[in-house]
A and B are shown apart, each in its own frame.
Chain A
Amino acid sequence: MAEQTSPVRVTYDYVTRTIARTLGTPSRGYFLLLGAAVALLGVGVITLLFLLRYGLGLAGYSHPVYWAVFITCFVFWVGIAHSGTLISAILFLFRSGWRTAVYRTAEAMTVFAVMTAGLFPLIHIGRQWYFYWLIPYPNERGLWPNFKSPLIWDEFAIGTYFTVSTLFLIMGLIPDIAAVRDLATGWRKKLYALTSIGWTGSNEQWRHYTRGYLYLAALATPLVLSVHSVVSWDFAMALVPGWHATIFAPYFVAGAIYSGCGMVITLLTPIRRLFGLEEIITVKHFENLAKLCLLTGSIVGYAYVCEYFIAWYGGNPNERAAFWYRAFGPYWWATWTMIICNAFLPLLLWIKKVRTNITALFVISIFVNIGMWFERYVIIVVSLAGEPYEPWANAVYNPTWADWGIMAGSFGWFFMWFLLFVKNFPAVSISEVKEVLAPPRSKASKAHV
């Protein structure tokens, strides 16, 4: 953080205080946001009740478009979940110091995003009350799920990812909770005392802690690649023109990280402003996130080109028709939204001015999120609707209030958790930020290692 010139001198004590301040009594603005989130969630819950009572027919599905907005949201949220682990685990292993200020938010986002994504497979199935048939458990009938089905792989991938990322989040929290514990009073003190599981910060604990954290990071790393690869196979394993492509796994992973970073920026910007963390979450951090966006965005762009090229080069009439339909069929608007937001917009990030302008980044990040949502919409809906092998069976699909209701609910659900989190737990890692500060006594600070 050498190039950062800050009016106040960022000291250990400053860090603790500023971050602890985020836990102070919530402002009206906070409650408004929380209220909004809960309201959205309410919309989702009511919609779900309708779906349960009357059936999925309330949503916009039409033969043969049997997957649509719900699955789109599912993939979208799983994607969002990605940057969390990337930033916390992989960047940790690479010892990139800048992660410290942002990884907590990213991780929290990850956990909540997975929690959101996890709901969709349950919501979108026809007989939701039988969801447990998807889980392998010994039963009287002697029946098991079909382990050949990508949906079952999904289940495991998401399950694992959720477990590990939650552990990761909690573990990272321990020292910080301890820190705020010592400042907090009342029920909070009890809560922190409990959740910090007797952390005293002794050398002994620190040694074990860092070791454990390292291993967990190592364990989490492959997940970043595996989870979204598996999700992508839901599609790649099917023979639908536009789905059946070997590029899907890397393509999806890149896209996921891209959308993840986008979401991190979207979330950090307001938090930073609200909690006055300008000194701790600096422009530097945003710039680095932006670079990550640029990288992954470019990969996504490359994947688009690849898809179209192979569709043409492969010479399969169905593939060709499918991609022609994508670009120039009735859904052209969705396709071009996706291409512009994901392939062209990030190119702005080559410009340092843009990279370092938080407002610009915030706006771009919003478009990144929109673009990535549409990417999934295009892949799922447009591939199913437009050019099936059977020329007779094509359809035009339009979402209904039920689709939007559930989608709104998912956002409500996500933001509700997120807001609750940032108010009750340190949204920025106190201990790790300190690690990268120049210690009071003049010594080589880790940051420059």
Chain B
Amino acid sequence: MYCHYSAAVSSEPGIPALQTCIGCHQLIGGSTPSHQAEIKKVRDAWRERKPPEWVRVHALPGFVRFPHMRHIKALGAQSCATCHGEVQRMPQVTQVSTLRMGWCVRCHLAQTPPVTRDCSVCHY
């Protein structure tokens, strides 16, 4: 929520600006060497004013709309893990859920009361 600050208010969670990363990693240097190595990259990038290139892990096709704020509103601020998994525990972020339509729909129907499965809610 601090990094992806717009997730709760907008459809797009947003990619945190490098400034945001540095905000913490100025101080947090990481415990293990590997961590330190990674964080160093960020710091160097900031020094060179050259944003790093992140590899996109969670991608939806262009014809799907996923308004993050609606889901956070409904499931609460801690609900990121429902789809993204325990990111904070991941040494390297990986995709834990299929993010396929059947998966979405199943979750919609599992809610009480079931959430709509109308196509035009996500596809337009």
Contacts and interface: CB of A to CB of B under 8 A. Distances in A.
- A contacts B directly in the complex (CB < 8 Å)? yes
Interface of B: 100-102, 105
A141 B108 CA distance: 13
Contacts of B105: 141-142
A138 to B, nearest CB: 11
A293 B101 CA distance: 54
Interface of A: 139-142
Contacts of A142: 102, 105
Nearest to A139: B102
Contacts of A139: 102
Nearest to B105: A142
Nearest to B98: A140
Q: Is the interface of B mostly helix, strand, loop or mixed?
A: helix
A189 to B, nearest CB: 53
Contacts of B101: 140-141
Contacts of A141: 100-102, 105
A142 B100 CA distance: 11
B100 to A, nearest CB: 6
Contacts of B100: 140-141
A140 B98 CA distance: 11
A140 B100 CA distance: 8
Nearest to B100: A140
Contacts of A140: 100-102
The 7 A-B pairs of least Cβ separation, nearest first, read: A140-B102, A141-B101, A141-B102, A142-B102, A140-B100, A142-B105, A140-B101
B110 to A, nearest CB: 13
5 contacts: A140-B101, A140-B102, A141-B100, A141-B102, A142-B105
A127 to B, nearest CB: 13
B1 to A, nearest CB: 31
A139 B100 CA distance: 12
Given A140-B100, A141-B102, A141-B105, 7 more contacts: A139-B102, A140-B101, A140-B102, A141-B100, A141-B101, A142-B102, A142-B105
Nearest to B103: A140
A139 to B, nearest CB: 8
A141 B117 CA distance: 11
Contacts of B102: 139-142
A140 B105 CA distance: 10
A106 B102 CA distance: 47
Nearest to B101: A141
B60 to A, nearest CB: 14
A141 B105 CA distance: 8
A183 B102 CA distance: 59
A142 B105 CA distance: 9
A140 B99 CA distance: 12
B37 to A, nearest CB: 39
A133 to B, nearest CB: 13
A442 to B, nearest CB: 74
A217 B101 CA distance: 46
A153 B104 CA distance: 30
A142 B101 CA distance: 9
A140 B102 CA distance: 5
A140 B97 CA distance: 14
A71 to B, nearest CB: 27
